Structure 1
Amino acid sequence: MTMQFTATLRLALLALVLPLLWPAVAEAADIHVSAEFVPNAHDPNKRTFDNTTPWSGLCSHPVHNASCVARGVWGIDTAIRGTKTTRGTGNRNDFYFGMPGARRITVTDAAGNNVDMVVRIVGMGYRIAAYNGSEGIELANCTVVLTNFGSAADSAMRLFHRNDDSEGASACWSGAVNNRDDRTIHELDIVYELETPNPLAMEVGIYTGSTTYSIGGAGMDIDLGDGVSLDDDTLTMHFTLEVKHAFRLTFPPGSDRVILSPRGGWSQWADHGRAPSSLEQQLPFNLDTSAPFSVSLQCEIALADGRCGLRNRSTAGAEDVPLEVTLTMPGVRDQTLGRDAVDYPLTVGMAAPKFTVESYVLQRPSRIGFAVRGEAVRQMLDHPGSHYQGVVTLLFDADL
């Protein structure tokens, strides 16, 4: 804008520069936690995820990393910084750490499948400036697992673990720091544990979810006591669980052709005219899987009751006979019904049963059963020399 004065008076102009006042905006910090499941042939009973979160914070320091690993402690730097005033008396004026209880988080994959997991904040860590050798290393209600107490460093460092079960809220504090100057918080870590779902019951994929904690003084999810000033007042944890599965079926050569016959052969019929009660055959295969999978049946000739049919290819007009198809896979069960997959009947039109395993199944001997029984056998014998045939397809879908 251009301003013009046309008066002949000499004016004294006073310029005022007013600061712009913006409403306070809450800051937020983000940390990312990841874990994966990969089936292990050397540990087929494994049902847990491996934490793949990059080390950060105190546990990432080379001198401390081995100690964190040995103690099963997994800490991560929140990247939140600030100051703590330790003046006055009372626990909240010391170094005080109030931690929330366990949280149940829902994680979801790209297909919309949901599973629940639990996160627990089981401890915290910090590094502060102005180290004083007289400051204690103990924290009430917690156990210190890492410290630089007694060193010549110019900062104090602690990493501690809660003494309770971490299910509910709990607080830990130091009882030796009072009437000190403001201390700069150079590092603030959380120590966490994850209770993950059974990956053997999950579809392959990447599952994500998050939860947010408020952090600061009284009333916050993570309560650092009185006299604290931080550059962020919320902490969001983002979770990524990746599930990788293995699945393989191994059939012997010639498995594309199945010939039905009586148990013990045809001698009773050929020599004595005794009709067999059934014509059967078992098709063996080996199963390798860590994944849930479904099996569906397709038939060239589908009968009204859902069974497959065999057709007389030699005699026109002969009735189709029903063929029973069953599936046996030891150590595998129907995920919905809880039924073991032993002589499990399959029919056309049924909802494809979904099967799951309790451990990584390796080279598990399994079989597909085919049988014609009872009156249908006698019906076939009424057409000696005939050739009955049908095509049966089993679809194994592990969604890999």
Structure 2
Amino acid sequence: MRRLILFANPVLAALCLAVLFLASNVARGSEAVITAELRNGVFINTTPRAHFCSVFASGSFCWNTWSVNLPLSYYKSINLETTNEREMIYVRAPRVMTLQLTNQATHETAQATLRPQYISQRASHATHRVMSYAVAGVNGCQSLGAHYNGSDHTRHLWTIPAGACYSPPTAVAAVEQSYVRELGMTFFPEFPKPETLSPGLWEGVVTQRVGPGAEFDFGETYGNSADSIAVRVQLTVKHDIRVDMPAAGTEVALVPPRGWYDYNNHKVVPERLFKDLPLRVWAGSTFSVYLECQYPNTPRCRIIAPVGGAVGSHAVEVDVTLSLPGPFTSSGQPVDHLVLQSRVANAKLITPSGTAANQPGTLHLNIGKAAVSRMLYYPGAQYRGNITVVFDANP
């Protein structure tokens, strides 16, 4: 929230315990959570890095990419002389995952997609490695560098093309019972344009099956820890706004368009008292504008002068309007002398077309002729009052 002040002169806690019984004939699911926050108009990845990121390329592989752990493990019985690709370390993953995001407060919806890029697994062995250095398959399966070999396991990092990838084993006369775990993937997210998302938590889930012919297919396996993976996306949207106004926090004098000459010399009542205040705005999404008044007469603000006598004080209303030419609209109309009112309930919504940067505007303060006439009943009186213009980036 940005506040500009103008001076016008004339323990609730709960504990939940859930017990989940799993039987062999009951579908089991796991969940991968992807999180991001909107900062300065850009979604920043806040998802914890996948385990494999610290292994390949000394950890630098994930510096500029999105990654997530896939909470799944399984076993494979691998005949190291097999020619059946599904008995090998085998991966087929979805090309794209599409999910609906919902604002948890407003229930608005939007669509997001995730495009998997690379996948990694850790496959154990007792005596012989269950992967060779080769990776085969269709549509450009590639290994990102050499496999990482430990004394009792091998890790891979493979591209995820349209078909399956697999690694022929070491071709020795042996059978290994391999425990495969620490799965993770990198992906490219396509989120909605930030300016189209209202503030709040946006969340969506897409469930991907695990098994032969499913979205995630790891070949012939047994002892899977889950039959599906729910991929949950959580976007925290909090928009930013910047308003620069040289007059903010200063005293502003409202005067006639031609000064006081006509009144002082010819007693001609000015048509108005006014002041136009230049400003500049940076905004990437809809924001609201409203007033807070020291002397409110809702929905307008007043300034007051002590005048003595039986009257005590005299107040007049100040009209406050806003002009933002260029990419801004309010209720589908250009922002030209948009009337601003007091209280957040009367806030006006303003929407830029895309991201607006360093756009000029004007705040107009005006007192009409009728009010000026009444003010002139009290020569020498000084009218004062604080008017705060609130620009709220997250209405």
TM-score > 0.5 by shorter chain: yes
**In structure 1, distance between residues paired with 2:77 and 2:222:** 4
Q: Which has the higher strand share?
A: 2
Q: What's the counterpart of residue 80 of structure 1?
A: 73
Give unpaired runs (5+ residues) of structure 1. Answer: 1-21, 40-46, 164-169
Greater Cα offset, 252-261 or 207-216? 252-261
**In structure 2, distance between residues paired with 1:249 and 1:135:** 58
1:66 aligns with 2:60: yes
Deviation sequence 1:331-350 (CA, Å, 0-9, x none): 8845x635565532224698
Q: What's the counterpart of residue 214 of structure 1?
A: 209
Q: Secondary structure at the match of 2:92?
A: strand
Q: What's the counterpart of residue 14 of structure 1?
A: none
Q: What's the counterpart of residue 48 of structure 2?
A: 54
Greater Cα offset, 345-354 or 82-91? 82-91
Displacement, 1:231? Answer: 2.5
Q: What's the counterpart of residue 337 of structure 2?
A: 343
Larger radius of gyration: 1
| Mapping for residues 191-210 of structure 1, pairs under 5 Å | 191-199=186-194, 206-210=201-205
Contact 1:119 1:192 in 2 (8 A): no
Q: What's the counterpart of residue 7 of structure 1?
A: none
Percent identical across equivalent pairs? 19
Q: Which amino acid aligns with 1:83?
A: K
Q: What's the counterpart of residue 35 of structure 2?
A: 34
Q: Which of residues 164, 167, 182 in structure 2 aligns to 1:172?
A: 164
Q: What's the counterpart of residue 160 of structure 1?
A: 158
Q: Which of residues 108, 122, 129 in structure 2 aligns to 1:127?
A: 122
Contact 2:115 2:189 in 1 (8 A): no
Q: Which amino acid aligns with 2:218?
A: L
Larger RCO of the pair (alpha carbons < 8 Å, separation 6+): 2
Contact 1:310 1:323 in 2 (8 A): yes
Deviation sequence 1:84-139 (CA, Å, 0-9, x none): 65797676555241415321232444x45645352424132223344367562244
Q: Which of residues 242, 255, 262 in structure 2 aligns to 1:261?
A: 255
Contact 1:126 1:157 in 2 (8 A): yes
TM-score, scaled to structure 1: 0.66
TM-score, scaled to structure 2: 0.67
Q: Which of residues 120, 138, 141 in structure 1 aligns to 2:139?
A: 141
Give unpaired runs (5+ residues) of structure 2. Answer: 1-22
**In structure 2, distance between residues paired with 1:254 and 1:148:** 61
Deviation sequence 1:244-270 (CA, Å, 0-9, x none): 566677777895754321223122444
**In structure 2, distance between residues paired with 1:342 and 1:53:** 43
Deviation sequence 1:130-173 (CA, Å, 0-9, x none): 4367562244224425243597976543322345xxxxxx4233
Q: What's the counterpart of residue 234 of structure 1?
A: 228
**In structure 2, distance between residues paired with 1:53 and 1:355:** 32
Q: Which amino acid aligns with 2:110?
A: D
Greater Cα offset, 135-144 or 286-295? 286-295
